[in-house]
Structure 1
Amino acid sequence: MASTVQPYNWSIHAIPAAYLLAFPPYLYQFARCMTASNYTATNIVPRTNLELLKPKLPNNVWQSLVRARGAHLNALEGFPLFAAAMIAGNYAKLDTREMNTLAADYLLLRVVYTGLYMTVKSEAASYLRSTVYAASLSVPLYVLWKAGNRIAADKF
């Protein structure tokens, strides 16, 4: 009789990884805001920097800062759904390999989405970004659906 070795379940570890993915765009935005403004931006009320500095910054710089802030906020907005999905999937004892794969898919899609969010400058390309966003959103929704079905059926 062959023994099956369960893979290490790192899907819960993907939760802090997903949270940390929100911060590179913020750090980029803050550092670039400081240098572009000759350090007149403030850390006292940093959320006001972009609005206060808009008239003082070249438009292309300001646009890149706004996109970075948007990428940061979007990652934070999507984080609770992903965290809930990973916890629910583990609670429902969904397949470890599938949970690992779905967690990795989500993280990869979020990296691609963030890159697109920060670099896309055309209306046409923005739809690619939206497609990647929808794909990333589908991962936690799928996990929650599967977990709900498993729990409802009480088959775990």
Structure 2
Amino acid sequence: MFSSVNLSSPLSLYSIPVVWFTAFYPNAWKFSTINNTIGYDNVQPRSNTAKFSENKNISPRLAAKVQRMEGAHLNGNEAFPLWTAAILAANIAGLDNALMNKVSLAYIGLRVLFNQVYINQETVGTSWFRTAVFFASNLMPMTLLIRAAQKLAAER
């Protein structure tokens, strides 16, 4: 099955769970950090970041990093539906597999870069780089949505 996988193979649907994972791993990293320091409250999981940040035994730098982990996770959750819609529309429209695969790889790479920059940023300059990566990543699903719409409109 995988012996003949190449860029022209229909792989773009596999990007959906991969993109979901890019949204999930910052939260797993946050969980691990909190659990290994003050302990994770699974009864009230949404209160953990605030409790962690307010804890006087936690450095402000680490508290800010955990807040950014949560922010990267939330941003990924917000971006996920757009990506899923774009991939589904592109597949329904029958866009070229190589194009969809290249855009998928670019999007995944940009989402991972976004997360790493977001979580590790500590300066205003780096925050603007994060913003640029965010907008660059959004070009990927928009490209697929527009091309899918154009192809479907041309077929009517």
TM over 0.5: yes
Contact 2:72 2:115 in 1 (8 A): yes
Give per-residue Cα distances to partners, 1:117-150, cap 9 Å, x unaligned.
1101100111111101101011001110110111
Aligned to 2:139: 138
Q: Name the SS of the counterpart of 1:21 in structure 2.
A: helix
Q: Name the SS of the counterpart of 1:44 in structure 2.
A: coil
Aligned to 2:43: 44
Q: What value does the CA root-mean-square deviation take over the aligned residues?
A: 1.5
**Count of residues in correspondence between the two structures:** 149
**Gap change, CA 1:33 and 1:6, over 3 Å in 2:** closer
For normalisation by structure 2, the TM-score amounts to: 0.90
Give per-residue Cα distances to partners, 1:42-80, cap 9 Å, x unaligned.
011111112123221221111010000111111111000
- Bigger drift between 97-106 and 49-58 goes to 49-58
**Gap change, CA 1:6 and 1:60, over 3 Å in 2:** closer
> Structure 1 residue 90 and structure 2 residue 91: aligned?
yes
- Bigger drift between 48-57 and 143-152 goes to 48-57
What are the residue-to-residue correspondences of 1:67-146 with 2, within 5 Å? 67-146=68-147
Any unmatched runs of 5+ in structure 1? none
2:148 and 2:8 mapped to 1: Cα distance?
19
Aligned to 2:3: none
**Gap change, CA 1:122 and 1:6, over 3 Å in 2:** closer
What letter corresponds to residue 120 of structure 1 in structure 2? Q
Identity of aligned residues (%): 30
